[in-house]
């Protein structure tokens, strides 16, 4: 599936995200950018530990990434140039929307 947004082309592809050949991939991240599980862990394992280190350096310098915000890192050994780490909302007790610590 492909969309045009202005001069940009956005493609939705089903497959292994770590094998993608594109400018960037998007990773669903936690606010402290610790990539220890799920797709994030696979991205770091395949792309290299430098992805995790760059993420930790970002949090050291700027603090946790708020829900709804993103940060971008290099992609290590992956075939893409960048990883866009985005933090989604978390729903807690009583249905309140919050970002994890």
Name the nearest CA neighbour of 30 among 60, 57, 62, 70. Answer: 70
Residue 97 has pLDDT above 80, yes or no: no
Give me the DSSP letters along 27-75. EEE-TT----SHHHHHHHHHH-HHHHHHHHHHHHHH-PPPTT-EEEEE-
Is the pTM higher than 0.85? The answer reads no
> How would you classify residue 67: left for phi > 0, otherwise alpha for psi between -120 and 50, otherwise beta?
beta
Q: Which two tokens stand for residue 86?
A: 């985005």
Confidence (pLDDT) at 2: 87
How does pLDDT run across 7-63, given as a tens digit for each residue? 988 888 889 999 999 999 999 999 999 999 999 999 999 999 999 999 999 999 999
Confidence (pLDDT) at 11: 82
Domains annotated on the chain, with CATH: 16-98 (3.40.220.10)
């Amino acid at each position: 599936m492909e969309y045009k947004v202005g001069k940009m082309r956005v493609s939705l592809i089903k497959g292994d995200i770590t094998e993608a050949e594109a400018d960037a991939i998007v990773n669903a991240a936690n606010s402290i950018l610790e990539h220890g599980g799920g797709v994030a862990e696979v991205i770091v394992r395949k792309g290299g530990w430098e992805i995790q280190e760059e993420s930790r350096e970002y949090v050291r310098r700027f603090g946790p990434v708020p829900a709804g915000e993103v940060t971008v890192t290099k992609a290590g050994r992956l075939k893409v140039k960048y990883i866009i780490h985005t933090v989604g909302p978390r729903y807690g007790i009583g249905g309140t929307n919050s970002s994890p610590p």
